[in-house]
Each structure stands twice: as structure tokens, then as C-alpha cells.
Amino acid sequence: MPTVQANGIDIYYEVVGEGEPLVLIPYLAADQACYAFQVAEYAKHFTCFTVDPRGAGLSSKPEGTYTTELFADDVAAFMQAAGVGRAHVAGLSLGAATAMWLAAKHPERVASLSLHSAWDSSDAFLRVVVEGWRVMAQALDSVTDMVIQGIFPWCFTPELYAARPEYIDSLAAFVRGRPMPPVDAFLRQSQAVLSHDARDVLGAIQAPTLITFGQHDMVTSTRFAGPLTAAIPGAEMVVFENCSHAPIYEDVEGFNQRTMEFLRKHSG
């Protein structure tokens, strides 16, 4: 189980594949295994480094104030400790918020940037949704149950629930099998979501950037497309039809194909 000390904490990670390095940053409450459906494909062309962020998985969960900028500093320090000089960087939701800070503050580390279900700054709607998750986590006293009962409905379309209930059940079983954070660590992680505001630094991003959304996502909907594409020079955008907040699970083949095209275009 590889672990490095970086930015004052222990960061757990896994490595698979061959080729240029690709760092994958998880979303809220998730550990590195959340990209299982992507790594199998990406690893055919890239060396995939999947990390457990501060407060999740097998990484440290210290007290204190968590921010998306702090998460980015963690990843930069991880890359140095793990000997990853420069890498393609991808993240979804909280992972995307972290990745944009990483690319802005540490441009020498980022060869390309993939921002999935991203947002530039938390607005009133996003905050009320996340506050609901925080209330539910404390009421249930379980981040696992909160994710399945509270976050899942925002990640998947009603059509997926209706057409493939067994798939939803399998994803729930996957969550139950992972090392989920305790409630206090989730509250610290989610506070970083609530306070996220990268508007002043997005213009510093130099890496080729892909921005993707799910057509039916409400949490980080295409209302954020204009601010992001206007602020990040030359950013490309893709909208995955018939998907909500998590195209990585709702359209695995389409998501992998389109994101792999971008990664391979900017490798070599």
C-alpha cells in the first residue's frame, strides 16, 4: 500500500498502467477507487496515479479548515514526493475544483487539465444542496448512507434509476465496500466545496483544458460553462447527453472515449 508524506499528511495512492503520468483526483467523500471504470481504459496509454485526498480513504484526516486550494497544494506535494514531475491532471466535482487550483498555482506540474462537473465559484443553489448533505450525514451518523440516499439522486438521472435499478444497487454496494470518511472529516471536506472560489486564478491556467458537464446535472450545471470557458484560455467543452452529475458512471463508454481523445491529443 504506497503512502507518501506530503504537505504534512500521509497520502495514500495507487499506480497502474504505462506511459505519461495521469493524476486522477476524487470527488467529495470518495477514495481513489472512484475512477475504477476509467483507470482500466486510461492505463492502456497512461501511468495512472489515483490518490486519496485529505479527509478521505486511507489518507490523513486532520482537523482544521479544508479548502480546494489546500487540496491542490496536497496534490502538488504528493507529486513531488512520488517523483511525478509533470502530469496530465483530471478531477470530477471536488476533484475538478482541486485540479483548477493545482493548474493555476503549480502550472509546471500540469501537462493537460480535465475538469469534469466543475464550477468556478460556489453559488447559492450549490451551497444549499451541499448543506443538505451535511445535515443528512449528521442525522444518519453515516457518510456511507448519506452518499447513497442523499448524493446519488443528484448524480444520476431518473431514467437510470428506472431502467437499471440493479446498476444503482451495484454502485451502492461499491460505496459500502470502500473506506468512507467519518462524519467530521466529511464536514471538513464539504466545507471546502462550500467555500470554493477560483475566479481570481482561472486566468493563470496555462495547460490545455477540457471542461465537461452532464446535460441534466443540476448541482454543477452548464450555468458554470460560460464563466469557466471565458476564464480559462482556449478551453474545450463537452456536454454528455442523458447524464447528470456523474457521467463517469452513467455513460462510461462515451465518457472514456471522449476524455481519452483529449488526453491522447495532448500527450507526447
Decide: 216 and 250 in contact? Cβ < 8 Å: no
Q: Which residues of the chain have pLDDT under 50?
A: none
Whole-prediction pTM value? 0.98
Kindly write down the DSSP assignment for every residue of 8-77, as one continuous string: TEEEEEEEE-SSEEEEEE--TT--GGGGHHHHHHHTTTEEEEEEPPTTSTTS---SS---HHHHHHHHHH
Distance CA 151, CA 62 (A): 24
Give the pLDDT score at 268.
87
Nearest to 259, CA basis, from 95, 29, 26, 22: 22
The length of the chain is 268
C-alpha cell recorded at residue 81: 514526493
pLDDT digit string, tens, across residues 36-55:
999 999 999 999 999 999 99
Decide: 83 and 19 in contact? Cβ < 8 Å: no
The half-sphere exposure of 174 on its side-chain side, counting CA atoms within 13 A, is 16
Please tell me whether residue 200 adopts helix, strand or coil conformation: coil
> From its phi and psi, is residue 46 left (phi > 0), alpha (psi between -120 and 50) or beta?
beta
Per-residue DSSP letter, 197? B
Give the pLDDT score at 1.
64
